[in-house]
Amino acid sequence: MAVTTQQSVDLREPSGWRRAKNQIVTGGMWFAFLCMLVPLGFVLVTVIAKGASTISWQFLTNGTIPPNILPASIGGMGAAVVGTLVITGLASVIAIPLGILGAIYISEYGTNNPLAAFISFLADVMTGVPSIVMGLFIFTIWVLHYGYSGLAGAFALACLMLPIVIRSAYEMLRLVPNELREASYALGATKSRVTLTVVLPAAIGGIVSGALLAVARAAGETAPLLFTILTVESTNANVFSGANTALSTQIFVNATQPYVGAQDRAWGSALTLIAIAFILMIAARLTTARFTRYSR
Amino acid sequence: MMEQPEQEITTTRLPKLETTAKAPARQDTPASMIFDVRNVSIYYGAFKAVTDVSLPIYENEVTALIGSSGSGKSTVLRSLNRMNDLVPGARVDGEMYYRGTPLYDKAVSPAAVRRRIGMVFQKPNPFPKSIYDNVAYGPRISGQRNKAKLDEIVERSLRAAALWDEVKNRLKQSGLALSGGQAQRLCIARTIAVEPDVVLMDEPASALDPIATLAIEDLIRELKRNYTIVIVTHNMQQATRVSDRTAFFSVLTDSKNDTRTGVLVEYGLTQQIFEDPHDSRTQAYVTGRMG
């Protein structure tokens, strides 16, 4: 064995400044991450701390919301839970199919079509419309003629969800590589076949995620419901007629009261709403994983 | 060695070319001609991509389209099964017949054309579906719903693409989990599962390593028995290894208008193109002095 007499090579970073830059920027990213975590953690901790004691089976299911002066141990928010679920559910039934179909039109059928470009532009404009304006819009065209109802609330929420669904679904459809479309065309598929059997399945994971984000957003909206469902104190499972109620508007109504009972109910409702959104997110992850099992 | 007997058959029906850029005189029996491309020019919007191509393509042969980048060989290939229809603004001038039927007739459905004339792309593009569903995709959209039939088609196609032994135990796995060469053979299996008449291949091996490339080339020679194949390739050795006829494309540069248009320079038997090219441009290209 010959003894190696090679000079050792210096492979270290030539200047300390580059290392320092790397550390500064990495540190900056950590700082930004922590800054973002603070409000999120604060909201969660506060809502859980103040709301957890209110939550009980009775609170979640009892259908009569008592007068503000009574403590939170009497009655419950069941009416609002039911209202939020049926109104948001109906809004989703209206907005998600319409939004996905719109996105398919813009992405797959509307290339070089001025109408598609116009719809896409309108969807972007709609994203920027304040949610209370959506509520007033439905109030003028629907509530004034047919009265307050869960349906009116669902319309308002659907208006809010539609641009989000269109935008997110469109982005997901654009991400599907053109090679896949070409492969399908080359096997003799028509455009509708290509869209249904290749493009949609390839994009469905992202589309579902985007749609559920829109649902979670809608479930938490207050302003569009203020002028459309009236916010009553008892369960109305008939979403199509009669005034209704929802967690978000109940939070608004109760939190603005000077009574301890009402404020406790507002905190409890807030926690319930967050829990519903959380469950939706988990469901979204599970469905997405199921749909995309072949994409890796 | 394999091409030798083929050679004798084809020489009789293909006289020596006098002028270049002209199709060989049509002495073939009509049945043997799959594509009859006559004076075809292809445009993308105002841009003329290929000018005045005449190119007969014969049954159960491998026809190679070679030439430098921008010479329009892929454009011509994609016009053969109307894939260019998908490009906004693409337009075909001239006459193009497939088994005597005008391909660009108003009544012709591009989907029906592509069901008979399949295509394999440069980049392996399996669907994000299982291996089985990838191969069964074509038969399914053609209306085949019978499970036993589909099983049989999938096995036959994968065997024909020399992939069956490697994947028979994992047909339910994602087609994206295959290696590049396997994925390309999966794409070939998917293409022949619909039992097309013609298979068009757009540089099918250019993204693959040499061993996978040889596997694909073996496969092409094997498939020639049942299919007519048109292949675009950048690799001249590949053209000599797999093809019966070769069409050499070049670029016409118009310096006045600053446009570049593809043109068919010479078309003939592969051996003639490579050993006795009639056009100086072909000679420069095949001997490696140009492009």
What are the tens digits of pLDDT across the range B140-191? 999 999 999 999 999 999 999 989 999 999 999 999 999 989 999 999 999 9
Q: What is the mean pLDDT of residues B189-217?
A: 91
Interface test with chain B among A196, A294, A296, by most B beta carbons within 10 Å: A294
In the structure encoding, which two tokens stand for residue B152, read together?
A: 């049989």
Residue B32 has pLDDT above 90, yes or no: no
Q: Please give the Cα distance from A264 to A51 (Å, whole number).
A: 7
Beta-carbon count within 10 A of B9 CB:
11
Q: Please give the Cα distance from A147 to B289 (Å, whole number).
A: 83
Order across the sheet with B228-232: list the strands: B101-102, B90-98, B33-44, B47-58, B259-269, B245-254, B62-67, B228-232, B198-202, B117-120
CA proximity to A96, closest of A192, A212, A174, A200 = A212
The verdict on a CB contact (< 8 Å) between A180 and B176 is no
Please write the tens of the pLDDT for every residue from B205-214: 888 888 888 8
pLDDT at site B165: 92
CB pairs under 8 A between A and B: 81
User: In degrees to the nearest 10, what's the CA dihedral of B286, B93, A181, A190?
Assistant: -140
Q: Please give the Cα distance from B139 to B151 (Å, whole number).
A: 11
Stronger pLDDT, A122 or B23, i.e. the higher one: A122
Exposure of A73 in the CB half-sphere (CA atoms within 13 A): 1
| Pairing mode of beta strands B228-232, B62-67 | parallel
Within 8 A by CB and 6+ apart from A263, the residues are: A254, A255, A257
Q: Which residues of B touch A292 (CB under 8 A)?
A: 128
Give the angle subtended at the CA of A61 by the CAs of A59 and A65, to the nearest 5°.
60
Rounded to the nearest integer, the mean pLDDT of chain B is 86
pLDDT at site B290: 63
Stronger pLDDT, B272 or B255, i.e. the higher one: B272
Give the angle subtended at the CA of B156 by the CAs of B154 and B161, to the nearest 5°.
95
Q: Please give the Cα distance from A222 to A134 (Å, whole number).
A: 11
CB of A15 within 8 Å of a chain B CB? The answer is: no
Q: Please give the Cα distance from B63 to B59 (Å, whole number).
A: 10
Q: Which CATH architecture has domain B3-286?
A: 3-Layer(aba) Sandwich (3.40)
Q: Please give the Cα distance from B81 to A235 (Å, whole number).
A: 62
In the structure encoding, which two tokens stand for residue B273, read together?
A: 């193109």
**Its pTM surpasses 0.80:** yes
Domain residue spans of chain A: 81-247
Q: Which residues of B touch A203 (CB under 8 A)?
A: none
Q: Please give the Cα distance from A259 to B52 (Å, whole number).
A: 87
Residue B25 has pLDDT above 50, yes or no: no
The verdict on a CB contact (< 8 Å) between B142 and A188 is yes
pLDDT at site A295: 65
Phi, psi torsion values for B222, nearest 5 degrees: -70, -45
Interface of A with B in 155-194 (CB under 8 A): 177, 179-190, 193
pLDDT at site A296: 55
* A179: nearest CB among B81, B121, B174: B121
* A188: nearest CB among B138, B176, B177: B138
Can you count the helices (H) and strands (E) in chain A? 13, 0
Q: Please give the Cα distance from A186 to B225 (Å, whole number).
A: 22
B64: left (phi over 0), alpha (psi -120 to 50) or beta: beta
Q: Please give the Cα distance from A83 to B234 (Å, whole number).
A: 65
CB of B128 within 8 Å of a chain A CB? The answer is: yes
CB B202 within 8 A of CB B195: no
When pLDDT is cut at 50, 70 and 90, the band that residue B53 belongs to is: very high
CB B21 within 8 A of CB B186: no
Tens of each residue's pLDDT in chain A, 296 residues: 556 678 888 887 777 888 889 999 999 999 999 999 999 999 999 999 999 999 999 999 988 888 888 888 888 899 999 999 999 999 999 999 999 999 999 999 988 889 999 999 999 999 999 999 999 999 999 999 999 999 999 999 999 999 999 999 999 999 999 999 999 999 999 999 999 999 999 998 889 888 988 999 999 999 999 999 988 888 888 889 899 999 999 999 999 999 999 999 999 999 999 999 999 888 888 877 777 767 65
Alpha-carbon separation of residue B175 from A131, A201, A296, B153, B193 (angstroms): 45, 14, 9, 17, 15
In the structure encoding, which two tokens stand for residue A244, read together?
A: 């209704």
| CA–CA min distance A183, chain B (Å) | 7
The verdict on a CB contact (< 8 Å) between B114 and A186 is yes
CB A47 within 8 A of CB A247: no
Interface test with chain B among A182, A187, A295, A296, by most B beta carbons within 10 Å: A187
Q: What does the DSSP 8-state code read for residue A236?
A: -
The top-level CATH class assigned to A81-247 is mainly alpha
Q: Please give the Cα distance from B180 to B212 (Å, whole number).
A: 8
